[in-house]
A and B are shown apart, each in its own frame.
Chain A
Amino acid sequence: MIEIISAAACIDCGKCVEICPTNVFDAVPGGHPVIARQADCQTCFMCEAYCPVDALFVAPCSSPAPPGTVFTDEARLAADGRFGEYRRWIGWGSGRRPGSLRDRNAELTELADPYLEGNPLA
């Protein structure tokens, strides 16, 4: 779930408010957006992908991080390079190559083929 909007990094562009598929954020006139409905966050990481300045951190958990865990420790997460991690993987942002150029799913499909036969959910 979304845990942090970094006040130090956020430029109030409103992109996270605009693109969130479950409408988790609220815009604040003259201020940073706020996480208004964390319970509606579906942990899809799309806001991390779209934030142009890597100001957001979405924790890997599908429920709110208990206080005191690393997932709410902005300084520690920043030091560990955990902001904007998804955006790096998909290669968005200036000077980056789209991650899809390195997509190896086609090869994995060939490996997965026998697996498909006995599995109605594959």
Chain B
Amino acid sequence: MARPTRAPAAVRDADVLVLGGGPAGTWAAIAAARVGAQAVLADKGYCGTSGATAAGGNNLWYVPPDANAREESIRRFERIGGMLTERTWMARTLELTWVQVGQLSRWGYPFPTDAHGNVRRSSLQGPEYMRLMRRQVKRAGVTILDQSPALELLADADGVVSGAGGVHRQRADAPWAVRAGAVVLATGGCAFLSGALGCNPDTGDGHLMAAELGAEMSGMEFSAAYGMAPAFGSQTKGRMYQFARYYRADHSPLDPPSGPAGRSAACRTALEGPVYARLELAPPEIHEAMRWAQPNFFLPFDKAGIDPFTDLFEIRFVCEGTVRGTGGIAVNGDGCETTVPGLYAAGDAATRELVTGSRSGGGSHNGAWAMSSGTLAGRAAALFARRRVAGPGDLHPAGRAGVIGAGAMPPGEVIGNVQAEVLPPAKNMFRAADVLRRSAARLEQVWTDQVPQLGGDRGRQRAREAAALAAHARWMYAAALSREESRGMHQRDDCSATDPAQTRRLRVSGLKTVLVVPETGS
């Protein structure tokens, strides 16, 4: 395949380029600027509204600096994370989250005060948090490129990452390029365009860019996260369902009707037919508190004329892939270095296994991880850029799948084929070797027959996204087949027990052929 000749890109120079403007990207850009780096942040959408956090919010993993309290929390999450976490990373994340939440407070985030006069800082409302972060990014002197999806990384002759190129999608896909001393990928996880709340910008673009230069992934089998939403809508916010009872279409309650086991029963029952919920376990005196906690959970119900406390409403399960799952680009060092020189990963683009293991990080651990990994990655990238002796010489664009093809294949067809294998709970939530193998074979076909034909000059972002979804799905199922046990969110119906011998993380790599290797020393 020949690289199509296109208009030359408008080139900028920076010390650090951050791709993605959610929490991890904004913290990274600010951290880089703090140590004197000139930073550019490019977001596919708009820094301030893009991604899962802005649309949702975070209930942070947030523990005061009390040695016993932190030790207790770490122990607890080690256990429910399937013992795949890393203590040093957990402690570091708790500390940095504490520090950065203090920073948010000094920047003026309007934290609430409870009935006892205590300021409560563990929860961040998405729109407020990300609007503030955008302001601080600008105040730090960072240049923001909005509506500017990155398509590929640039590398120097030694393979050191030295920038990225993309398009301005509101300017007829005019190309842009930033030459930089280091790049931070904060492009989010991958929810396969499932429509989960705020997750459609998260198509795993960063993972594909990283893999093209040889980066490894970790935890990709922990990608079976599904959010519950009212059947009519997109509000995949799970918290309020702690107050739910679940029912079949004939209004008979599920067994058990509520709690975590009730949720599992609801997932299973939904494979057969409609499932309904009602938040009837919430005592009336806390209804008001619930509304103010998550106004955008209730907003769609209000608009639809449904009272979720008294009316039954149908629910559906929406794939959240590696957004609420934990898999992502493996980090190899304390500064979130990937296995590729000059390339750093933060937030949901990186693996969160280190802090949340096999369990979903939801908004809590993922939110804390975004703050801390973003901060660490931004700083480390800035220091790396400063140490690079010569400025980058000739750079080569590393993008392949979805970038250099002729464009005969409509992206929508590839996206649909990938979605058919990863969105249905019958394939991805309740896993079994035979079903996984069939899906993996189909995905292999998509990758070898269809993805190479993606590309062309029209809709370049969508073509790249389609390729990224296909790559992501292949890594997921390769890892899922390799973990022959059940652990955390990875539930195998054909091997439902947890096998102590498999208490180790799995590294996945490769595009042409996918390789799964147990991590040494984990």
Residues of A with Cβ closer than 8 Å to B? 17-23, 40, 42-46, 49-50, 59-62, 71, 82, 85-86, 89-90, 92, 98-109, 111-112, 115-122
Q: Which residues of B contact A59 (CB under 8 A)?
A: 303
Q: Report how far A100 CA is from B80 CA in the complex, Å.
A: 30
Q: Cβ of B441 < 8 Å from any Cβ of A?
A: no
* B198 in contact with A99 (CB, 8 Å): no
For A47, the closest partner residue in chain B by CB is B49
Q: Which of B49, B234, B302, B362 contacts A46 (CB 8 A)?
A: B49
- Tally of contacts, chain A with chain B, CB under 8 A: 181
* B299 in contact with A60 (CB, 8 Å): yes
For B296, the closest partner residue in chain A by CB is A45
For B197, the closest partner residue in chain A by CB is A44
- Cβ distance B167 to chain A, nearest Cβ, rounded Å: 12
Q: Cβ of B439 < 8 Å from any Cβ of A?
A: no
For A111, the closest partner residue in chain B by CB is B242
* B299 in contact with A116 (CB, 8 Å): no
Q: Which residues of A contact B303 (CB under 8 A)?
A: 59-60, 71, 82, 85
Q: Which residues of A contact B113 (CB under 8 A)?
A: 101
Q: Which of A99, A106, A117 contacts B295 (CB 8 A)?
A: A99
Q: Which of A43, A99, A101, A111 contacts B234 (CB 8 A)?
A: A43
Q: Which residues of B contact A100 (CB under 8 A)?
A: 109-112, 124-125, 128
Q: Cβ of B358 < 8 Å from any Cβ of A?
A: yes
Q: Which residues of A contact B122 (CB under 8 A)?
A: 105-106, 109
* B296 in contact with A120 (CB, 8 Å): no
Q: Report how far A111 CA is from B259 CA in the complex, Å.
A: 12
* A43 in contact with B170 (CB, 8 Å): no
**Chain A contact surface mostly:** helix
Please name the 9 residue pairs, one residue from A and one from B, whose CB atoms are nearest each other, closest first.
A21-B45, A60-B300, A105-B123, A119-B260, A89-B295, A104-B289, A106-B120, A118-B260, A44-B55
* B293 in contact with A103 (CB, 8 Å): yes
* A62 in contact with B234 (CB, 8 Å): yes
Q: List 29 A-B contacts (CB under 8 A).
A: A17-B170, A21-B44, A22-B45, A43-B233, A60-B230, A60-B232, A60-B233, A60-B304, A82-B303, A89-B299, A90-B295, A98-B110, A98-B128, A100-B110, A100-B125, A101-B110, A101-B113, A103-B292, A103-B293, A104-B290, A105-B122, A106-B112, A108-B290, A108-B293, A111-B286, A115-B259, A118-B261, A119-B260, A121-B263
Q: Report how far A3 CA is from B495 CA in the complex, Å.
A: 47
For A118, the closest partner residue in chain B by CB is B260
- Cβ distance A56 to chain B, nearest Cβ, rounded Å: 13
Q: Which residues of B contact A44 (CB under 8 A)?
A: 49, 54-55, 197-198, 234
Q: Which residues of B contact A17 (CB under 8 A)?
A: 170
Q: Report how far A100 CA is from B126 CA in the complex, Å.
A: 9
Q: Report how far A109 CA is from B121 CA in the complex, Å.
A: 12
Q: Report how far A17 CA is from B45 CA in the complex, Å.
A: 10
Q: Which of A20, A85, A118 contacts B46 (CB 8 A)?
A: A20
Q: Report how far A60 CA is from B359 CA in the complex, Å.
A: 30
- Cβ distance B395 to chain A, nearest Cβ, rounded Å: 28
* B198 in contact with A19 (CB, 8 Å): no
- Cβ distance B139 to chain A, nearest Cβ, rounded Å: 19
Q: Report how far A107 CA is from B110 CA in the complex, Å.
A: 17
**Residues A42 and B289 in contact in the complex (CB < 8 Å), given A21-B51, A90-B125:** no
For A59, the closest partner residue in chain B by CB is B303
Q: Cβ of B136 < 8 Å from any Cβ of A?
A: no
**Residues A19 and B46 in contact in the complex (CB < 8 Å), given A99-B292, A108-B293:** yes
* B112 in contact with A18 (CB, 8 Å): no
Q: Which residues of B contact A82 (CB under 8 A)?
A: 303
Q: Which of A21, A45, A112, A121 contacts B50 (CB 8 A)?
A: A21
